[in-house]
Structure 1
Amino acid sequence: MRLPVSAHTDQPWRIHELTRDFRVEDVWAFRTPGAGPDDFPAMLAAMRAAGGPARQSAQFRFLWAARWKLGALFGWDKPEDGIAARVPSLRDRLPAGLRDDPGPESDEVPLTPVYELPAECARELANKTVHTVMHLGWSPAPNGDHELRMAVLVKPNGTFGRLYMAGIAPFRHLVVYPALTRQWERAWRDHGRAGREVPASVRDGEVTPVVGRRSVPPSLQALTSLPDFDYVDVFTIDTGANADATPERWARAMFGDVPSLAERFIWRGLLGLRLTRGRSADTVAGWRVTGRGEDWIRLAAASWFLSGNLVVRTTGGRTSLATFLRYERPVGRLAWRPLSAVHRRLVPGLLRDAAERIR
């Protein structure tokens, strides 16, 4: 889950005194149900056991490999542009006692340890584009547990560095951070500490997908306002302790009142959907509410080449999100085909995050 910058800057972490000349690019939270204030070292051990990019999805591995291929092609990652060459290490800003124990190296990720403390750690990377820091901190969560927070801080190398960071932002938000979320949260569950005071449906994060008209129940198909549709999928999660939440509450927990940067990039930028602006009781993340019942709500949006419905239904102790699309022009099919794979990877995380927020 993406957090505001203040979720990082308001914490009393050591990293602040080292990075006054850096800007906070992203702040992300990872769920660690049942975690206590002293479990940060256990979380780090679980993350190391989970491995690096080699154990990620094919999509993540492709982006990872493509980035380093481009770096080799354009000379972004030469040693003379790295730590202790183009820029000094942040370790030089630390007192001697802390500088001598930065934490273990990793052969799987190109990040150099800066320091490791009982509740936070930092790693850095420099190349021709940026000097960046990945900070991990252990923070109290709203539900009384503790959670892992990751902040990415950057110092771009001139105009090219700023353009580079802007160019990779959609890939970070749509692919990289969701992939890290799945890997690190699974690492915590596998570590065996997630079983305390957490409903099984939320803890396990089981989401059931079905794709295609023949697989979707007719009762759910009847809720779309499209006269016909070309694409449909449904993802369902057991609601457990969240069974009393309304469909609208689930919809807002998934998408928010206004669309996020990643949602605007896909919905407006790639699909051209005409979304309303601002918060309203008649919209969810810019989609118009065009129908509702006791156990369902329907959202609608359209572009010149595609019309869509999002239907959220809560029934039988389960919550489902159905996506219906109608291609108004042939380009609609061409636009959605590559995006559908990204969509199907993101929806399970949306449902699990919504379940956590509602809980």
Structure 2
Amino acid sequence: MATKLPTSAHTGRPWRIHEIAGDFRVEDVWAFRTPGAGPGDFAAMLAAMRAAGGPARQTAPVRFLFAVRWKLGALLGWDTPEAGTGGRVDSLRRRMPADLREAPQGPDDPDMPLKPLYELDDEAARELANKTVHTVMHLSWVAAGDGDHELRMAVLVKPNGTFGRLYMAGIAPFRHLLVYPALTRQWERAWREFGPAGPEAKPAGSTGRVPAGAVARAVGSRVPPRLRALSSMPDFDYADAFSLATDSAERTPEQWARAMFGDVPGPGERLIWRGLLGLRLDYRRGPDTVAGWRVAARGEDWIRLETASWFLTGNLVVRTAEGRVTLVTFLRYDRLLGRIVWPPLSAVHRGLVPGVLRGAAAKSR
């Protein structure tokens, strides 16, 4: 879980935000866990947070809370353009020195109420203004006590008079009981699922061999390009990759694939692949199939299996390199049903794959 930090954890560091928000009050400072993160991973963390989605991907109670807030704002005129930056208050961009104005801002997502100010190598800031408050969300990247780096968030506020101070006091319990715990789950999960400590990567700062049995993963855009290039589908809609550190270097990619899935599909594979996804499987044992999937292509250190149903097409790629075996899954949604069926099943899939890899490794002992 996230850790609440004292105000000095933010004010005691030489962040650039101090140059333009010195008249703002530090409302909260939090640290979020990012295991294995290194000093150069801040941009990857920001990308992971964006990949995980914004408020629309929060829990139902948090979405309801925000819906009530925006409805009240619409009824009472809290969020009109005149009450925002460029209206009631100037944007902090007007205070920024030339080098900050020329720095990258970060993407301006229309679904994100907070608008970008800047993104640097180790800090980023966004602002929001309405009739109640002018606020800044400051994100930073700090070395933690365990040798990793961690994400920190500071909330800076400048309330609009007595009304703004009463508003901030009124929403404080909701922030601490609902919003911050939900953010913690979303952002820490984003690091685990989309962060750079993915397949075929050593942990940050590591100079030695990754321990046998350790599994790393990447989902979506975090799948490395060298693995994405092994798909037969340049237009795939879903990708994930799981990599197991192993001492069983003598196996070929095909032997690993057969150890994972068998020569013919078993009851579990038939249930998921055939029953739920409708994939066409060959139930005959032979050199050209693995667990019913067709062996479509192979290289010196990889093999690609392919099959399809009437609503999606799939690739499974097994690669062996540098003391690791990696399983990559690619799917293309050929019909709308694919977009409906796979997302909920993908969570089950991602939970099962580490066991599949470890089970295959155990068969060699």
- Which TM class, normalised by the smaller chain length? 0.5 to 0.7
Which of 178, 191, 199 is the matching residue for 1:175? 178
Tell me the amino acid that sits aligned with residue 125 of structure 1: L
Give the whole-Å Cα distance in 2 for the aligned partners of 1:76 and 1:128. Answer: 5
Preserved contact between residue 15 and residue 122 of structure 1 (Cα < 8 Å) = yes
Tell me, in whole angstroms, the C-alpha distance in 2 between the residues paired with 1:192 and 1:113.
22
Q: Does 1:130 align with 2:133?
A: yes
How far is 1:96 from its partner? Answer: 2.5
- Would you say how many aligned residue pairs link Structure 1 and Structure 2? 203
Structure 1 residue matching 2:112: 3-state secondary structure: coil
Q: Which deviates more from structure 2 when the two are superposed, residues 105-114 or residues 144-153?
A: 105-114
Secondary structure (helix, strand or coil) at the match of 1:162 reads helix
- Could you list the per-position Cα deviations for residues 292-346 of structure 1 after superposition, in whole angstroms to 9, with x for gaps in the alignment? xxxxxxxxxxxxxxxxxxxxxxxxxxxxxxxxxxxxxxxxxxxxxxxxxxxxxxx
Aligned partners of 2:164 and 2:75: how far apart in 1?
17
Aligned to 1:12: 14
Taking the aligned partners of 2:53 and 2:47, their CA distance within structure 1 comes to 10
Cα RMSD between the aligned structures? 2.2
Alignment of 1:52 onto 2:60: no
Query: What's the offset of the Cα at 1:97?
Result: 3.4
Distance 2:105 2:40 in 1: 19
Deviation string, structure 1 residues 88-140 (Cα, Å, up to 9, x no partner): 11111112232143221012211111111010000000000000000000011
Quick one: distance in 2 between partners of 1:181 and 1:61? 15
In structure 1, what residue type is equivalent to 2:7? V
User: Match for residue 74 of structure 1?
Assistant: 76
Q: Which residue of 2 aligns with 1:93?
A: 95
CA contact (8 A) 1:81 1:128 kept: yes
1:164 aligns with 2:189: no
Structure 2 residue 120 is the aligned partner of structure 1 residue 121:
no
Conserved 8 A contact 2:45-2:195:
no
Residue number in structure 1 paired with 2:42: 40
> CA offset at residue 193 of structure 1?
4.1
Cα deviation code 1:28-61 (max 9, x no counterpart): 1110000001100000000000111111110110
Rg comparison, structure with higher value: 2
Letter in 1 for 2:148: D
Q: Is the 8 Å Cα contact of residues 125 and 133 (structure 1) preserved in structure 2?
A: yes
The secondary structure found in structure 2 opposite 1:70 is helix
Give the AA of the match of 1:18: I
CA distance in 2, matches of 1:75, 1:191: 38
Structure 1 SS opposite 2:9: helix
Task: Report matched runs for 1:149-298 at 5 Å.
Answer: 149-193=152-196, 196=203
How far has the Cα of 1:192 moved from its partner?
4.6
* Cα distance in 2 for residues equivalent to 1:179 and 1:40: 21
Specify the alignment match of 2:287 in structure 1: none
Which portions of structure 1, spanning 4 or more consecutive aligned residues, are displaced by more than 3 angstroms? 192-201
* Structure 2: tracts of 5 or more residues without a match: 218-365
Matched with 1:106 is 109
Deviations 1:254-286 (A, max 9, x none): xxxxxxxxxxxxxxxxxxxxxxxxxxxxxxxxx
List aligned pairs for 1:298-317, cutoff 5 A. Answer: none
Query: 2: distance between equivalents of 1:67 and 1:189?
Result: 30
Residues 51 and 108, structure 1, Cα contact 8 Å, conserved in 2: no
From the superposition, tell whether residues 12 and 172 of structure 1 become closer, same or farther in structure 2 (CA, over 3 Å): same
* 1:191 partner amino acid: F
Query: How high is the sequence identity, in percent, across the aligned residues?
Result: 74
Letter in 2 for 1:3: L
How far residue 17 of structure 1 moved from its aligned partner, in angstroms, is: 1.2
Separation in 2, partners of 1:127, 1:30? 28
**2:126 match: secondary structure:** strand
